[in-house]
Structure 1
Amino acid sequence: MTGTPFSVTTRTTGAGAVVTVLGELDVATAPRLRAGIEALTLAAGQRLVVDLAGVTFCDSSGISALIAARNVAEAAGAGVALAAVPGRLSRTFGLIGLGDFFPTYPSAEAALRG
């Protein structure tokens, strides 16, 4: 498959970190997302927001990386939220029983305000 080149970028705000994912989140790219999230310094009370607006595909490895992100945030005493979840991925979350596992917001800014 060819599509949007994969990238993970991070910006830090007073409320926490926003990790923006672009491209296909799959077995080949999920380790890059995990590494980026594990490198973050989160403080108790902050929020980790994963912005998925640019995700064009997500397989089980990508979903596993998102669950790992939640675990990293919780270990730091921080919250986690997903922003701009594509409809197909939102439907997949519902089908596999993760529909309520992540708080979701229409944008990263809304998620930071939480």
Structure 2
Amino acid sequence: MRADELLLAHGLWCEDTVLLCLTGELDLATAPLVDQAVTTALAASPRGLLLDLTGLTFCDGTGLRALNRLAYRVHTAHVPLHVTGLHPNLYRTLDLLKTTSPWLSPAFLY
């Protein structure tokens, strides 16, 4: 099965903000799709990025690293990042990670 059959990373513009929706499984095979979507989104110099994880059905350690990279890249681009649709288990894991990854700001977890 191809990576783009396991995860859909779809970006939409809403005024000056990019809405990035992840649907499917985020793992070793699909993490590059997230990196690619973030590169595309940041190239357009948005004023904000809203990450919708409502459709995310699976996230392993590689997926967590992809989300960490996403947060770091958005942070270093000085673009506010907000996340919606976090499953409670993923929320708890990211909440623990923010102590070791300072770019995972509290805004990331709301």
TM-score (norm 2): 0.76
* Contact 1:42 1:76 (C-alpha < 8 Å) held by counterparts: no
Q: Return closer, same or farther for 1:81/1:42 CA change in 2, 3 Å cut-off.
A: farther
Structure 2 counterpart of 1:43: 45
SS of the aligned residue for 2:97 comes to coil
Q: In structure 2, what residue type is equivalent to 1:43?
A: S
* Contact 2:9 2:34 (C-alpha < 8 Å) held by counterparts: yes
Identity, % of aligned pairs? 24
Query: Is 65-74 or 25-34 further displaced after alignment?
Result: 65-74
Structure 2 counterpart of 1:21: 22
Task: Tell me the CA shift for residue 34 of structure 1.
Answer: 0.8
1:1-114 to 2 correspondences below 5 Å: 5-40=6-41, 41-43=43-45, 46-94=47-95, 96-98=96-98, 101-102=104-105, 103=107, 104-105=109-110
CA RMSD for the aligned pairs?
A: 2.2
Structure 1 residue runs of 5 or longer lacking an equivalent are 106-114
Structure 2 residue runs of 5 or longer lacking an equivalent are none
